[in-house]
Amino acid sequence: MTNQQIIDAARVALMDAGKIGSTGRMMEYIDGEGQKHTMPEPEPIHTFNYWKERGYSVIKGEKAVIKLTIWKHTERKCKVPEDANADTAAIMAEPVTCMFMKTSAFFSLSQVQPIKEA
């Protein structure tokens, strides 16, 4: 399951539970049997860092609406041994991609406000 699928499923569940609202728009989805359905689009949820990058801050005192375990992508470089030959050193100098699961806190649009410029 991708991060987007994890987050979208959580948004629908949160809206059904009454923890977040709707955007007022309608969205279509296809269920497991191929049937097309229409439902209200849930309010967006994102991490603290996502909101911050887009010019929003979480309102003081707000708690995460949900904590989800999502995929985290990182790159790291390996240490090259001093006695490695040139070919081995070149291969080991390239970054290694790692994927792991990480629990992150998510906040809804109603829990953030635009950052005020001073």
Per domain, the residue ranges of the chain are: 3-114
Amino acid sitting at position 99: M
| pLDDT interval class at 80 (50, 70, 90) | confident
Proportion of the chain above pLDDT 90, given as a percent: 69
The larger pLDDT score, comparing residue 95 to residue 67, is at 67
Give the span between the Cα atoms of 16 and 7, in whole angstroms: 14
| pLDDT interval class at 17 (50, 70, 90) | very high
Read off the pLDDT of each residue in 9-29 and give the average, rounded to a whole number.
93
Read off the pLDDT of each residue in 23-40 and give the average, rounded to a whole number.
91
Give the span between the Cα atoms of 37 and 35, in whole angstroms: 6
